[in-house]
Structure 1
Amino acid sequence: MLVSNELYKKSSKTQKIRCEICANYCKIADGNVGICRQHKNVNGELFDESYGIVSSLSPDPIEKKPLHHFLPGTFTYSIGGFGCNMTCLHCQNYMISHEYDKNSRGIKITPEAIVENALRYNCQSIAWTYNEPTIHLPFSKKTSLMARQKNLKVIYVSNGYFSDRSIEEVLSFVDAFNIDLKSMSSDFYKKVCGADLDVVLDNLKRVYMEGKHLEITNLIINDYNDSIEEIEQLCDFVADELGPEVPLHFSRAFPYYKMKDINPTRPEILFKAREIAINKGIKNIHLGNI
């Protein structure tokens, strides 16, 4: 599927193109793919090689996303894809985001079929989840606009690594977000996730300012982002830069992918994180994987 030329820029001197779908802004040579491995430069044009190919489809309780304050008690139709624009060493879904063969494991489906399935299962929304949905922007946008025509709400479960261009697109059709705020450390984002913390913080503020429903998840990892100081800093950001009404989910991490040497997060640090959040004035706090 040819990507809209609004989402990439061509070089005037070479066939290299600059993808603007996410904040990596990959410069892709002819015949190569970007970091997400979903977009390919073919003769100076950007193609989405995963258009209409998904890894999973299922109706889920909306609280599983997790969204606890948006259409509570309803089901959402979850759509997962392949690939990611971050390289998190602790990825919980690494089998579809990093180690996969979408040609043998992929499910081919049309936007129309996704909407029909959601309605058949009496879902009130569709959720782009399990891997980063932004990298499938052309497919998720077309499907989501069809869903909204059928009075279905649209959810993005995201790492928040939108480009300046893609956040404009995403805000035009998404009703609710759960965005991972993985750490308040720039070094953590750079070394563990291969990303820039400031981009995520700016995008969180943009989503909030646009009045979209927003919930935040922080996966706490022993000895990486579990210090009292960092948890306090994260709670200050939510309370002061967003709003104390924004729901905050602290979640327990387990050994996965390239962090198999860690221990499961100590439950007591999640209880302490909740206490800190309460003291900072945050009104809606949830603990996950515990």
Structure 2
Amino acid sequence: MLVSSDLYKKSSKTQKIRCEICANYCKIADGSTGVCKQHKNINGELFDESYGIVSSLNPDPVEKKPLNHFLPGTFTYSIGGFGCNMTCLHCQNYMISHEYDKNSRGVKITPEEIVENALRYNCKSIAWTYNEPTIHLPFSKKTSLLARQKDLKVIYVTNGYFSDKSLNEVLGFVDAFNIDLKSMSKDFYKKICGADLDVVLDNIKRVYDEGKHLEITNLIINGHNDSVDEINQLCDFVAGELGVDVPLHFSRAFPYYRMNDISPTRPEILFKARDIAHDKGIKNVYLGNI
């Protein structure tokens, strides 16, 4: 599938393309892909090689996204793909985000079939989840616009690493976001995730300012982002830059992927995080994986 020319730039001097779908802004040589491994430069044009190929299709309670204050008590039709635009060492879904064979494991499906399935299961929404939806923008956009025509709401469960252009598009068809705010440390984002914290924070604020339903998830990892100081910073950001009504989910981490040396998050730090959030005035605080 050829990507819209609005989402990439050609070089007048080389065969490289600058992809502008996410904040990596990959410069892709002819015949190569970017960080997400889903977009390929073919003779100076950018192609989405995953269009219509998914890893997962499943009706879920919307609370599993987690979204506790958006259509509570209903089911959402969850769609997952392959690849990611971050390189998180602790990835909980690395089997579809980093180490996968989409040719043997992938399922081909059309936007129309996804919408039909959602309606058949009596879902009230569709959710782009399990892996980073931003990298599948052409497919998620077409499907989501069809879904909205059938009165289905649209959810993005995302790491928030949008480019300005992709966020402009996504805001036009997504009703609710759960954004994973992994840490308040720039060093954590750089070394653990291969990304820029400031981009994520700016995008979170923009989603909130645009009036979209927003919930925040923070996976607490022993020895990496579990200090009281960092939890205070995160709660200050939510309460001060967003609002005390924005639901905040603290989630427990387990040894996984390239961080098998960690121990499961201590329950007491999750309870402490909840107390800190409540002390900051945040009204809706939840604990996950515990």
* TM-score bracket, shorter-length normalisation: over 0.9
Letter paired with 2:30: D
Gaps in structure 2 of 5+ consecutive residues: none
Aligned partner of 1:159 in structure 2 is: 159
Distance in 2 of aligned mates of 1:15 and 1:34: 14
Q: Percent identity?
A: 86
Aligned partner of 1:122 in structure 2 is: 122
- What pairs up with 1:242-281 in 2 under 5 angstroms? 242-281=242-281
Partner-residue secondary structure (3-state), 1:71:
coil
- What pairs up with 1:46-65 in 2 under 5 angstroms? 46-65=46-65
Letter paired with 1:190: K
Aligned partner of 2:204 in structure 1 is: 204
Aligned partner of 1:215 in structure 2 is: 215
Residue by residue over 1:112-166, the C-alpha shift from the partner in whole angstroms, topping out at 9 and shown as x without a partner, is 0000000000000000000000000000000000000000000000000000100
Aligned partner of 2:12 in structure 1 is: 12
Aligned partner of 2:192 in structure 1 is: 192
Distance in 2 of aligned mates of 1:226 and 1:48: 38
Distance in 1 of aligned mates of 2:183 and 2:32: 31
Partner-residue secondary structure (3-state), 2:151:
coil
Distance in 1 of aligned mates of 2:52 and 2:243: 37
**1:15, CA displacement in angstroms?**
1.1
Instruction: Say whether 1:36 aligns with 2:32.
Output: no
Distance in 1 of aligned mates of 2:239 and 2:61: 27
- What pairs up with 1:69-84 in 2 under 5 angstroms? 69-84=69-84
Count residues with an aligned counterpart.
290
Partner-residue secondary structure (3-state), 2:33:
coil
Distance in 2 of aligned mates of 1:58 and 1:182: 25
Aligned partner of 1:89 in structure 2 is: 89
Distance in 2 of aligned mates of 1:21 and 1:256: 28
Distance in 2 of aligned mates of 1:178 and 1:47: 28
**1:14, CA displacement in angstroms?**
1.1
Letter paired with 1:91: C
Please identify runs of 4+ aligned residues in structure 1 that moved more than 2 A.
none
Partner-residue secondary structure (3-state), 2:79:
strand
Partner-residue secondary structure (3-state), 2:208:
helix
Letter paired with 1:115: V
Instruction: Say whether 1:237 aligns with 2:237.
Output: yes
Distance in 2 of aligned mates of 1:273 and 1:14: 50
Aligned partner of 2:27 in structure 1 is: 27
Residue by residue over 1:62-106, the C-alpha shift from the partner in whole angstroms, topping out at 9 and shown as x without a partner, is 000000000000000000000000000000000000000000000
Residue by residue over 1:190-238, the C-alpha shift from the partner in whole angstroms, topping out at 9 and shown as x without a partner, is 0000000000000000000000000000000000000000000000000
Task: Normalising by structure 2, report the TM-score.
Answer: 1.00
